Amino acid sequence: MNEPLPLRVLIVEDSEPDTLLLVRELQRGGYAPSYRRVDTPEAASAALDGQEWDLILADHSMPHFSAPAALELVRDKGLDVPFIIVSGKIGEEDAVAAMRAGAHDYIMKDNLARLVAAISRELREAEVRRERRWAQEELSRSEASLAAAQRIAHLGNWEQDLATGEERWSDEVYRIYGYAPQQFRPTYETFLNCVHPEDREYVRRTVDESLRNRIPYNIEHRVLRPDGAERIVQGQGELVLDDRNAPVRIVGTVQDITERKKAEQQREELLAEVEHALELRNQFLSLASHELKTPVTSIKGFAQILYQRATRQQSSDMLRPLQLMNRQVERLERLIADLLDVSRMETGQIPLEMLPFDLNSVVEEVIGEAAIAARGLTLDYDKQSELLWVRGDSERIRQVLTNLLNNAVKYSGARREITVVSRREGDWGLVSVRDYGIGIPREQQPEVFDLYFRGANAPTDNYGGLGLGLYISRNIIERHGGSIWLESEEGKGSTFSFALPLIEPESD
Ligand code: ADP
């Protein structure tokens, strides 16, 4: 025998013996009833409020209560509990009235054999009703959240019956087109009327083509709302075929993308403005440096003539100022050359003339020209390998090295020493310039080769510079297939190194 099934029963009955009879009948039918007997409306109401019940058995009439009154109580409380009338005597009319009022069955006390079957049927049906209710609630919940999602995303969905042209729109579709939800019954023509007149032909053609070729469509078009407002939407549609592969419906979505489009347009305008400003800057850079070059070159020429004349005439009071003038003019010249290079890099490339040369000889020449001693420094050149053949523009490599050496001089501290090393490392020719000067703060080191970079610790007086040299140097070295890097500690000095790929000397 199976375990008895627990059953919570509310028994509306004034007779205790009859109640026990019912309970025994339930037990015999395989239930383990836990029950309460009530025989007044107050007690019944309290019992219904106090707990959940699986079943209500009610006598038809009692001195203080009746089955119809109990039924009304149950209904008022919005409960759905199987309600069976068990009565000694009930007329046909009363029985029908009770059933109409919502009782699920009625059973004569002298025919209790039917009770158990009726109960199990009613319990099953109550279970079905409960499940349906849950499913319904679940459905309304997900419909509500779908509607909320559509409202938030300004995304509606629709479908069209191809045979009739009738459509079904979600609430958001109406709102996107400027109407109140479900304001009218839409058709394909109503939809076309919502499309901006200038885009209508395009939309109609796209939908037709999609139908003809049986491919989905995805278009952007304008919508003209009844109040005259224009919106931009993205419309998508897809065919639904029947089991004989004939198109029956189109299902689709429409999304209002006006705000996104506006933002995109603003971004594009801004980008165009920035590009224009950059172009103007480059034009200016290029023009200005070209214009500056000519007068500076002639000033330099005249300064040299004056210097030579002063040397010949041994006018010592003129020599010093002319020397200083020469140096400043050279500085100006370098600055202009750097500006020109940067403007070339921004608009295209620095021209390179690639030929094989020995890196060591460039290092020696640059050191020779740098007049380190004249600037009160000592330089140690440590040539660790003979002949480092590379392929490149030796003038440009010279420019890089000159820049590194000038920086080492400019930023050397109290210890007026510079070490230059050149050596072979595998397939690379490596040159490094070391100073013991101010160094570069660690957090700034990754930006050292950026355009306009100036160290936070670089003094501004007498150290003038625009932060162009290293930016140009990196570009030159990288275009040679090499790399450039630094090791530095603030207050202790820096080592700038670059490496270029070596070649076989006879390869050219
Ligand atoms: P400039 O020296 O004309 O400003 P660079 O591009 O050659 O331009 O150098 C950029 C910055 O890097 C310098 O302003 C300086 O702050 C830092 N720097 C470069 N070389 C050194 C160095 N050897 N020691 C310390 N700081 C340096």
Closest C-alpha residue for ligand 1 atom 11: 454
Closest C-alpha residue for ligand 1 atom 2: 465
Output the CA 418–ligand 1 centroid distance in Å: 15
Lowest mean per-residue pLDDT among 97-101, 167-171, 420-424, 466-470: 97-101
Closest C-alpha residue for ligand 1 atom 13: 454
Does domain 355-501 correspond to CATH entry 3.90.1530.30? no
In the structure, which protein residues have their CB atom closer than 6 angstroms to any atom of ligand 1?
Answer: 403, 407-408, 411, 435, 437-440, 448, 453-455, 458, 465-471, 494
Helix (H) or strand (E) holding 243: none
CATH of 5-133, one of 3.40.50.2300, 3.40.50.720, 3.30.565.10, 3.30.750.24: 3.40.50.2300
Arithmetic mean of pLDDT, 377-384:
92
Domain map of the chain by residue range?
Answer: 5-133, 154-256, 262-346, 355-501
Arithmetic mean of pLDDT, 30-46:
95
How confident is residue 438, by pLDDT bands cut at 50, 70 and 90? very high
Ligand 1 closest atom vs CA 448: 12
Contact between 171 and 150 (Cβ < 8 Å):
yes
Q: What is the largest CA-CA distance in the chain?
A: 150
Output the CA 78–ligand 1 centroid distance in Å: 84
Helix, strand or coil for residue 228?
A: coil
Share of the chain above pLDDT 70, in %: 98
Output the CA 323–ligand 1 centroid distance in Å: 25
How confident is residue 456, by pLDDT bands cut at 50, 70 and 90? confident
Output the CA 143–ligand 1 centroid distance in Å: 66
Q: Probe ligand 1: pick from 335, 407, 438, max atoms within 8 Å of CB?
A: 407
Closest C-alpha residue for ligand 1 atom 17: 455
Output the CA 269–ligand 1 centroid distance in Å: 37
Q: Residue 436: its pLDDT value, please?
A: 94
Ligand 1 closest atom vs CA 470: 6
Contact between 282 and 343 (Cβ < 8 Å):
yes
Q: Residue 245: its pLDDT value, please?
A: 87
Closest C-alpha residue for ligand 1 atom 20: 407
Closest C-alpha residue for ligand 1 atom 14: 454
In sequence order, the 6+-apart residues with CB closer than 8 A to the CB of 222 are 195, 196, 198, 199, 230, 231, 232, 233
**508, pLDDT greater than 70:** no
How confident is residue 374, by pLDDT bands cut at 50, 70 and 90? low
- Quote the CA–CA distance of 404 and 497 in Å, as a whole number: 9
- Quote the CA–CA distance of 101 and 328 in Å, as a whole number: 111
Q: Residue 50: its pLDDT value, please?
A: 94
pTM here is: 0.58
**440, pLDDT greater than 90:** yes
Q: Residue 466: its pLDDT value, please?
A: 83
Closest C-alpha residue for ligand 1 atom 8: 467
**175, pLDDT greater than 70:** yes
pLDDT tens string 295-324: 999 999 999 999 999 999 988 888 889 988
Give whole-number Cα distances, 357 to 349, 352, 383, 387, 477, in Å.
Answer: 22, 14, 16, 9, 15
Q: Residue 109: its pLDDT value, please?
A: 87
Q: Residue 464: its pLDDT value, please?
A: 66
Ligand 1 closest atom vs CA 411: 24
Q: Residue 316: its pLDDT value, please?
A: 84
Annotation: CATH topology of 154-256: Beta-Lactamase (3.30.450)
Output the CA 407–ligand 1 centroid distance in Å: 6
Q: Residue 348: its pLDDT value, please?
A: 81
The CATH code of the domain at 262-346 is 1.10.287
pLDDT tens string 210-262: 999 999 999 999 999 999 999 999 999 999 999 998 889 999 999 999 999 99
Closest C-alpha residue for ligand 1 atom 19: 407
Ligand 1 closest atom vs CA 457: 16
**482, pLDDT greater than 60:** yes
Give whole-number Cα distances, 319 to 285, 324, 325, 326, 462, in Å.
Answer: 35, 9, 10, 10, 22
Output the CA 103–ligand 1 centroid distance in Å: 96
Amino acid in position 231: R
Output the CA 377–ligand 1 centroid distance in Å: 18
Ligand 1 closest atom vs CA 473: 6
Output the CA 449–ligand 1 centroid distance in Å: 9
Mean pLDDT of all residues belonging to the chain: 92
Ligand 1 closest atom vs CA 465: 3
Interior/surface letters 121-150, b for 16+ CB within 10 angstroms, e for the rest: ebbeebeeeeeeeeeeeeeeeeeeeeeeeb
Pick the more confident residue, 113 or 364: 364
Output the CA 18–ligand 1 centroid distance in Å: 107
In sequence order, the 6+-apart residues with CB closer than 8 A to the CB of 471 are 342, 449, 450, 451, 452, 453
Q: Residue 415: its pLDDT value, please?
A: 85
Q: Residue 428: its pLDDT value, please?
A: 97
Output the CA 303–ligand 1 centroid distance in Å: 29
- Report helix angle 316-347 to 469-479, nearest 10: 50
Amino acid in position 380: D
pLDDT tens string 199-221: 999 999 999 999 999 999 999 99
Q: Probe ligand 1: pick from 332, 333, 339, 411, max atoms within 8 Å of CB?
A: 411
Output the CA 405–ligand 1 centroid distance in Å: 11
Q: Residue 463: its pLDDT value, please?
A: 56
**99, pLDDT greater than 90:** no
Q: Residue 413: its pLDDT value, please?
A: 79
